[in-house]
Chain A
Amino acid sequence: MLPNDGADAVEHPLRQVGKSLPHESATRHVQGSALYIDDLPEPEGTLHIAIGGSPVARGRIVTLDLEAVRSAAGVVAVLTAADIPGKNDVSPAMGDDPMFAETHVEFVGQALFAVVAETRDAARRAVRLVKSQFEEDKPSITVEDALDRNETVLPDYAFGRGEPAKALTEAPVKLSGQFRIGGQEHFYLEGQVSFAMPGEGDEMLVHASSQHPTEVQHVVARVLGIPDAYVTSEVRRMGGGFGGKESQASQWAAIAALAARFTRKPCKLRLDRDDDMMLTGKRHDFRVDWQLGAHADGTIQSADISLLARCGYSADLSQGVVDRSMFHADNSYYLPDVRVSSRRLKTNTVSNTAFRGFGGPQGMLAMERMIDALASATGRDPLDIRKANFYRPGGEHTPFGMQVEDHDVLHALVDQLERSSDYRARREAIDAFNRESPLIRRGLALTPVKFGISFTLTQMNQGAALVHVYSDGSVHLNHGGTEMGQGLFLKVAQIVAEEFGISMDRIRVMPTSTGKVPNTSPTAASAGTDLNGMAAMLAAKAIKARMTAFAAETHGVDPAEIVFRDDMVAVGQLTLGFGELAKACHAGRIHLSEASHYKTPKVVWDRANAVGRPFYYFAYGAACSEVAIDTLTGEMKVERVDILHDVGRSLNPAIDIGQIEGGFVQGLGWLTTEELVYDDKGRLRTHAPSTYKIPVASDIPVDFRVALFDGANREDTVYRSKAVGEPPVMLAISVYSAILNAIQSLQPGTPVPLNAPATPEEILKAVQALGGGGGF
């Protein structure tokens, strides 16, 4: 029996759900006819916007002379804070992100003004004509700078249990360390873009490449000083989001809307790539200070984990992000006496933001780094240390008090991967290889992922949908989720098609619009399908129930004998086409539209007291990675990766495998090649793909094997599926651990000073610290 088979089995064979159907826009994508915002036909008179940003990281604005800018060729308007009719605030919550800086600047590139011109070129040329003066202050760039000044964007926060300080003193094995985790640029292939169309009076339609159209609506309304109802925010698809368009699309949408209001013309703002990389936030980078106490056999007694996050100049989403790094600092391990603390440090750099995993990857990497140190100190295989510390009967509670109810899934999944990856035999082979190979060293690691699914801000755990059945039997599908490539629109369409027993081509997937579905949550936290798929299913069920009741009454048949399948509806002995029944329902005055709402059950989280259940369930996974490093150059190659991942009962296996492979490779970039370098003036020196190395096809594992774990979600999610968007990023921690393992082979038992990302330079430094590298 499979570990998850306690869940109800689906009784009838599914026609759409569970099938590896192609992406709903696949045909248009391969034709080049799928429209992104920059591809929308531009109405006559469309104007273009460029941003004028601060050249200094911290200081007071002394003069901002825009005369030459205003009089430049093609310029229609120049907008500053003084032109904002509403509030100069584009923040998601805390009110600390001005749309345009007014008196002080807090990071290099911070928007001071916008130029609206007849062409994009004219706008960009005009920006350069500004004459400004600043009274510069020394900026805080690093964690240490912020600690010295004791500046934070949000209060410190901690939780834990027991007496970790005492337990650490008494532990037979005591370890401590400090290491750094780098940030990450999203590099969504489609950069930030918004296109605002003024309507009559105060009305404004904003096409914004945003994961959170409702927030765009709210921010635009706030900036323009008008009610939310006058603003519609819409997005058909994004060319990638990854969290970078959750809160940080709003500013560009609001500037475009202000320009449209001011000029009464359609206005488009598409950030140049270098500007996008300098002006928008990234994954938070961290310094981690840790202490670990363990028994001689390697079971952990106590842990103290201090997470120092570099948040940038404002709070943005740092509360949730850093909280999640704390929630995942246990990863999959029971920590009896534990303290997890965090500081949200303020630096004069762009405000760091959501990025796939939302802090979880950093917390999890910290713990895996500690586990590897423990394995080294005790001389045991890292996988044995991992398994010895997994959540287990008698050790089921996380540091924040939530019970891990299904840790048997973790055990079963890791056992299966250990066998299928042939971990033990390969460990022996690698040890033998390393004994004979002074320069090339191999490393192997199998690391688990346990990722909590739900927004940790409980109110965000709601989804809504609006479904229309037209009288010809075609279906109009709207919900609050946004499509950024993850296949959400397809999965929700599969669910609705399944419910109505119709083929996919009857369903028209609509752009996400605040005019159709209001008050939505961002498409984030991997929860898009859980929330919107369930809401759409409820809407379809409600319409289907009315159609069923009508057919039952009209034909004198028991409703139980009515079946919707294969575009037909069997009504007892009679068979009708789905469209035929829809038409009859309309004639019979049956309402064929439904707005529905879903809220996730069970989740409660009292942050102030750190008690509750922030997550509805956990998604599990594990990866086994083998790497080879060259100790003379620091070069690294990923030789083989085996992944086993838990998506519950998959709604679409091909989409889920795509998420796993893509998430893994994105995590691989974060941990091995993607390096953000700020200079001491606060300037990002790696602001283009020329200097910021994103994985390409030739960088992926030589041998890459991905499989889905067989088991249903034990919680009552849509078709017992599990969320898949974020967890796979953290599978790449296995590569980082394998690199550590390879370096460790040079000198077993000695701490390896390796920070993330493990670039060749970083690997070489660690190799040399352990006396390797051929004596250079």
Chain B
Amino acid sequence: MAKTHVTMTINGQEVEALVEPRTLLIHFLREQMLLTGPHIGCETSHCGACTVDMNDMSVKSCTVFAVQANGANITTIEGMAAADGTLSALQEGFRMMHGLQCGYCTPGMITRAHRLLIENPDPSEDEIRMGIAGNICRCTGYQNIVKAIQYAAAKINGVPFHEAAE
């Protein structure tokens, strides 16, 4: 099949590649760019394991064609930490607040939460729950994921984090 030339910025780096028009962004990222952080869960845009940030929006990369991402600015989980490897506030939050178990949803969940906190820097618990409702976690029951996001919001906002009493 004829291939299309695409260029995009992924995690701050300009890349160019030839892709088939039917290639999905998730397959392009995982197989051609070797970025295996975003995972394949359902391939029908329901589970959110493949979530990446594209042009300042959370997208499910299993239902975006790679050619649609031509010229786009993309951030995956691999681009979340600082250049020196320091974890972002969200990465730290998910680690410290036990916001993960099997970890398979984690890259998509953090990538989604990253955009959520840009859209709404000080979300309520309810807003966090609604804001990540497009991402399935089958392990945690979400409580610790919500806490992880609260932890990160507090850190980014420079306010002390108080874990809700249980």
Contacts and interface: CB of A to CB of B under 8 A. Distances in A.
Interface of A: 20, 22-23, 25-36, 38-39, 41, 186-191, 237-240, 242, 270, 272-274, 484-487, 654-655, 657-658, 661-666, 688-690, 694, 696-698, 700, 704-707
A274 B43 CA distance: 9
Contacts of A240: 101-102, 104, 138-139
B36 A23 contact: no
A526 B142 CA distance: 21
A546 B141 CA distance: 44
25 contacts: A23-B98, A23-B100, A26-B98, A28-B103, A30-B110, A31-B77, A31-B87, A32-B36, A32-B76, A33-B37, A33-B78, A38-B39, A39-B36, A188-B102, A189-B47, A189-B102, A189-B104, A239-B39, A240-B101, A272-B43, A273-B41, A273-B43, A273-B44, A658-B144, A707-B166
Interface stretch (B2-10, B66-74, B128-136): B128-136
Contacts of B153: none
B124 interface: no
Contacts of B92: 30
A704 B143 contact: yes
Contact of A242 (B34, B87, B104, B138): B138
Closest 5 CB pairs of A and B: A32-B37, A485-B102, A239-B104, A29-B103, A32-B77
A661 B103 contact: no
Contacts of A188: 102, 104, 138
A239 B103 contact: yes
Nearest to A666: B138
Contacts, number: 185
Given A29-B94, A31-B81, A705-B166, A690 B103 contact: no
B99 to A, nearest CB: 8
A697 B143 CA distance: 8
B102 A696 contact: no
B156 interface: no
Given A31-B37, A661-B143, A688 B42 contact: yes
A657 B141 CA distance: 10
Contacts of B90: 30
Given A32-B76, A707-B166, A694 B136 contact: yes
Interface string B130-162: 101111111111111110000000000000000
A27 B107 CA distance: 11
Contacts of A32: 35-38, 76-78, 80, 106-107
Contact of B142 (A20, A28, A38, A700): A700
B117 to A, nearest CB: 15
Given A32-B77, A690-B46, 5 more contacts: A31-B87, A189-B136, A484-B102, A487-B101, A704-B141
B96 interface: yes
B3 to A, nearest CB: 14
Nearest to A688: B44
A189 B49 contact: yes
A746 to B, nearest CB: 30
A38 B41 CA distance: 11
Interface of B: 30, 34-44, 46-47, 49, 76-78, 80-81, 87, 90-92, 94-96, 98, 100-107, 110, 128-130, 132-146, 166
Nearest to A689: B46
Contacts of A35: 36
Given A30-B94, A655-B98, A700 B143 contact: yes
B129 A485 contact: no
Contact of A662 (B36, B106, B136, B139): B139
A238 B103 CA distance: 9
Contact of A26 (B76, B77, B95): B95
Given A187-B138, A189-B102, A697 B41 contact: no
B8 to A, nearest CB: 18
